[in-house]
Each structure stands twice: as C-alpha cells, then as structure tokens.
Amino acid sequence: MRYALALLAAVSPALAGVQEVWWNITYVQQANPDGLQPRRVIGINGTWPPPPIDIQSTDDLVVHAYNSLDQPMTLHHHGMFFNSTSWMDGAQSISQCGVPPGQSFDYTVPISTNGQHGTYWIHSHAGGQYVDGLRAPVVIHPPQEKHSYDEEFTVVLGDWYHDEHSVLLKQFISVANPGGAEPVPDSALIYFAQNATYMGPIAGTSPDPVTAAVGFNENATLPFQPGKTYRLRIVNTSAFAMFFFWIDGHDMRIIEVDGTDVEEYPTDLVTVTVAQRYSVLVTARSDASQNWMIHANMDTDMFDTVPPALNPNITSSVTYDASKPITDLGTIDEYHDIDDMALVPLDVEPMLPSTRTIPLEVTFDTMDDGTNRAMFNGQTFVNPLVPTVMSEMSLGQNATQVEAYGPFSFVLNHLEVIDIILQNGDAGKHPFHLHGHKFQIVQRSTDYTSDDPTLNPPINETQTNPVRRDTVQVPSGEGVTLRVVADNPGAWIFHCHIEWHLQAGLAVTFIEAPLEAQARNAIPDVMYQQCAALSLPTSGNAAGHPASDLLDFAGWTLGPYQQVLGWRPKGIGAMAGCVLTAVLGMMTVTWYSLGGHISEEEMEHEARLQQEEKRRRGKFFGLYKPKN
C-alpha cells in the first residue's frame, strides 16, 4: 500500500484524491441469483455480486485485493489505459503471474491523469474466474457530464452457468468436443446499481437468502418518475452471450460507447456484445398510469443447442407506480446490430495515417491433439511462462526482437500507427478487446474475401472523427480495420472476450515500445515475489531463457497445431441442413489424408466450400430470427 500511494503521488497532480477499496476475494456458497439453482460463486467478503465501483475522474483508484481462493487470481480494469504501467492491467501471463492464494496485491489504477471517464468494469483475467462471478461495473464521473440528465442507473447484464467454469472448460476443450461447441449458459441475469450500491429486490419478493440483497431479473425494477430523463449505463458482463436490450414504451438515445461520449443516436434496441458498454438516455413517460417491461434477450445464434429449459429472454421492469400493472409488449420487430461506425464522438480525434498493417484472421479447427482450438493466423495462443511484460522489461536491447515472445506476438514501435485488419473466418460472431488502448474503427466489410467494394470497401482516409471504443464485434465472414496509435509502452493482449474462446487460444500479444517501457517505470518487487511463490520465471524470453538463448523455448509447450490439411469448418455436420456439404467436405478430407497433392486451386476450392457452408449456416439461422 505504501508502494501504491507512492506511485500515485508520482503520477498524479497534487489535488487528486485516492479512492481505496478493500476486496477479500472469496468463494461464496449457495448463491442463487437466477432463482433456479444455488451454486458456489466467487465474490467479495463472502457476498455476491462484487460491489459496483463509482469514482470521480479527478481521483485515482486503489483496489486492495486479498486472494482467499485456492488458485492464482488477478483483477483487470477493463478499458483503463494503465499508461506506462501495463503490469497493473491484470492479464494473467501477460502483465503478472497472478496473486497467489493467501496473498494480497494492490491494483493502482491511474484515472486523474489519463483523461478517461464513462462506463467500465472490473473482472478477473485469470482461470475463467469472471465466469464464476468475479465481475462488477465501474463508473467514472467527470466533473461535468457532456449530456444532461436527471438521474442515472447502471444496468448489469450477464449470462449465468449452473456449473463452475473449471468443469465446463474441461468439457469444452476436450477430444469429446472436436467441433468446439461452447458451453451454453443456463440463464441470463439483469440487475441494477445506483451510487455504488446494487438495488434491492422489489418489495414483497423473497429471493434466496445468499443473494437476497440484490434484485435480479423479474425481482428488479427501475423507479422512474414522469418527465425525468435517465441515463442507463449498460454493461455486458457475459462470458458468451450477446444481449438485445430494450424497454417497452420508451425510446433510447445512445450517448456513450465504451467510455467515449458520442452525439445522441436514437435507437429502439441496444445490442451489447460481451464486454461492451453503452449509455443511453431514456426520457420517462409523462404519465404514471402503468409500468413497463424491460427486455434483455440473449442472442441464441451462437448457441450450439438451445436447451428447452433455457429462457433466453429475461425481463425486468420500469416502475412508475407499484400499484399499477406492467405492460409487456413482448416481442421486437427484428433484432439488429448497432452500426457503431455511425456513432460520432463528442471529442474529435482525427485519423492519423497508418504506417503498418497487421492482418489477423480468425479460424477454429480440430487440432492434432483432437481438441478444437481457436487461432489467429493459424496459431493458437499459449500462455508464456514469463509474463510478457517481464520479458519485455528484462531483455534489454533484445526486447525488440519479436521472436523472444513466441509465435503470436507483435513488437510495436513507439508512436507507430497500426491498422489491425481483423477477419472473422469462423461461423460465429466474436467480440475483440484490445488492452491499454482505444482503437478507431475505420473500416468494416461484410465479406472480407470479396473484391466487391460495396461488400469490402477500402478504408475511407478522409473520415474526420471515427468512433473509438475498446471492444468490437465482428460477425461471421466479416472484417474490420482498427486503427491504433502505439502510445502506451508495455505489453498488451488482444483477444476474443468470449471467455471460452480466449481459453481456446484466440489471442495475440502486442509488445509495445520495449525500450521506452524499460526507460519509464519499474515493475514493483512484489510482482516478482508472487511469481516466485508460484514457481514461475520472471526474466528472459517467453520460456524463461536469457537473451543469449533468445530463441530457445525448451520447457514451454506450444501448440496444439492444425492437422495437416485436416482443416474442417467449425460445427460442420452439426446442422442437418449442412449434411451435404459435410459429406463433400469429408470426402475431400479423406482424399487429402490419403496423400492427395494439394494445389493452390484446390485449397482455394476448399476455402470457397467453407465460405458457402458458413453462408448457408447463416441463412439457416436467419430463418429462426424473429421477424414478427
């Protein structure tokens, strides 16, 4: 703690205050937020959910975390920059080894100096702990809000599993699941917070004791008064599910996206993928003659199967007068995504010309060990033995050599402007999150393989103020170009925020400006000690070998790898409608495995088949999209 305050003193202007919270991270037995099944979760001080954090942007935050779990733990402040202190970012194996059981760590979050405000969240970035509940919203209030409103609420959305993450992960990454079907949530949760407190259940309801302090789903309500304008900060804390959110009888105007204030943008529904945040303004009705349903429908397109017991459509309500009935308009005409490129930031930031492109293509495959993994550019991510930032800080001049960090790494030069060209070659949609930065979304294509400029347009370099956010959704077969300025020396992970996909290897690391990082701050000693306590190395290349053996990865197991030419589109054969394609595909594979020579053209032919399969699958699902 002395360290934390010393660091803050060094980085903060004299007047900044420090808000401290003490979190004892504990297992909590018999939590039952959905009212369907009690289970063990991860909470704080024996309670769940972990408390929301509200802070003024003129203050800094210190989270004193004590790990009462039986496994290493980290906390990631999603979307915060940690400018030049990337080891505070909480990404296990990238920025730290993890807080060992029975030890504490003080996360120092600079806010007063980094110009950030808006809606964020805090969650574990280790061992899937956030899926087990270690997640909470963080709201940062600027001295003066750009938009005006009377009152605000935070809306927390999340998917919910009845089994613990470790159990589900074993089933997911398994030879028994070669198609990589993700665990389907057992339910969804919606709950509300205000002034750093969760809102209790509606009077008269009596939810299960352990989680009874908070109102969930039908037992939660937002009190509205006629004529007032409310800001709702919507945070999606899902591990997997995307939500469609709307309020019967009320229109919404988007005013914030991932901490970026934007011009008012009217919408009938808000699509929030994992880890994204939106604020909307909602003007209350002028009459209190009835109450209205709030809807949060999970997008079930991504679910391999929709179990009959699953209710993907949860509701809560807006209450004007508790004695009046609730109006439920039930359905929505059509689900649609928000065109985030149409959102206009209030603080104008022009596009800088890019100096480098980094193409990243997403695929999933059954690998040579029989499990299904995710890949960027054909490589599945494996945690380095040495946290990447510790390699970066310890390798001296050699830290600029990308080979030191493993095959899924990129070294960025200081202040370089990069275009990440992200291409989703998978059949599912994915939310991608870059740590330590916001990117500008400068281009989207609806078919990244197309030569047709209406489907795959070139980047418009004359955009004056592209939207900036930290998490972007990319649908199947689509592409997006993210422009990022490398202005934050350190080591940062870029990954799919669907927890299952991160664990299946859908990540790369950016080692940014190593020499500048070395010249700035130093990693606190306690972080090295905690690695030692976990018997993990803290210097040298990703496998812990010194600069003299920079390319030696002995002791570090990379892979699994793609089967030679056995590449199959994910989920093939899972859909009855695709049987023909599957049979064709299997014939091709059999032929390949019999040693047939593969030419470029045949590869391309196979790729086209895959594309066609994906398109068909998309259409197939489309039939089930509500159109009423």
Q: Which residues bind ligand NAG (CB under 6 A)?
A: 21-24, 26, 34-35, 44-46, 51, 66, 68, 81, 83, 114, 157, 194-195, 197, 199, 205-207, 216-219, 236, 238, 240-243, 245, 271-274, 296-299, 312-313, 331-332, 396-398, 401, 431, 437, 460, 462-464, 487-488, 547, 550, 626
Strands (E), 268-308: 270-272, 277-283, 291-298
How deeply is 212 buried, as exposed, middle or buried, from its count of CB atoms within 10 A (0-12, 13-18, 19+)? middle
In angstroms, give the least distance from the CB of 210 to ligand NAG.
11
């005013």: which residue's tokens?
255
Q: How far apart are CA 491 and CA 393, in angstroms?
A: 10
CA nearest neighbour of 23 among 64, 62, 61, 78 = 64
Q: Which CB atom, from 219 or from 581, has the smaller least distance to ligand NAG?
A: 219
Question: Strand, helix or coil at 607?
Answer: helix
191-208 burial code (b ≥16 CB/10 A, e <16): bbbbebebbebbeeeebb
Nearer to ligand NAG, 214 or 582 (CB): 214
How far apart are CB 463 and ligand NAG at their closest, in Å? Answer: 4
As measured in angstroms, the least distance from the Cβ of 46 to ligand NAG is: 6
> What span, in angstroms and rounded, lies between the C-alpha atoms of 275 and 431?
8
Q: How far is the CB of 2 from ligand NAG (least distance, A)?
A: 17
Q: Which is nearer to ligand NAG, 43 or 98 (CB)?
A: 43
Q: Evaluate whether 232 touches 282 at the Cβ level (below 8 Å).
A: yes
Task: In angstroms, give the least distance from the CB of 87 to ligand NAG.
Answer: 15
DSSP per position, 22-80: EEEEEEEEEE-TTSS--EEEEEETTBSSPPPEEEETTEEEEEEEEE-SSS-B--EEET-
Query: Please, what is the minimum distance in Å from the beta carbon of residue 559 to ligand NAG?
Result: 23
Q: How far is the CB of 520 from ligand NAG (least distance, A)?
A: 9
- Please, is 361 exposed, middle or buried when counting C-beta atoms within 10 Å of its C-beta (0-12, 13-18, 19+)? middle
CA nearest neighbour of 276 among 155, 360, 192: 155
Give the C-alpha separation, 60 to 54, whole Å: 11
Q: Which residue is nearest to ligand NAG (CB)?
A: 243
C-beta of residue 529 within 8 angstroms of C-beta of residue 123: no
In the complex, what is the shortest distance from the CB of residue 175 to ligand NAG, in angstroms, rounded to a whole number? 26
CB 565 within 8 A of CB 597: no
Would you say 318 or 367 has its CB closer to ligand NAG?
318
Q: How far apart are CA 519 and CA 390, in angstroms?
A: 14
Q: Residue 589 is inside which H or E element, if any? A: helix 579-593
Closest CB to ligand NAG among 227 and 626?
626
CB of residue 205 vs ligand NAG: minimum separation in angstroms? 4
Please say which residue, 406 or 585, places its beta carbon nearer to ligand NAG: 406
Nearer to ligand NAG, 174 or 397 (CB): 397
Q: Which of 338, 344, 318 is nearest to 255 (CA)?
A: 344
Number of helices (H), then strands (E), in the chain: 8, 32
Shortest Cβ distance from residue 577 to ligand NAG (Å)?
19
Q: Cβ closer to ligand NAG: 172 or 567?
A: 172
Closer to ligand NAG by CB, 93 or 116: give it: 116
Q: Tell me if the bond preceding 49 is cis, omega within 30° of 0.
A: yes
Bridge partner list, 418: 356, 484
Instruction: Name the residue nearer to ligand NAG (CB basis): 81 or 448.
Output: 81
Q: Which is nearer to ligand NAG, 169 or 294 (CB)?
A: 294
Nearest distance from residue 335's CB to ligand NAG, in Å?
A: 7
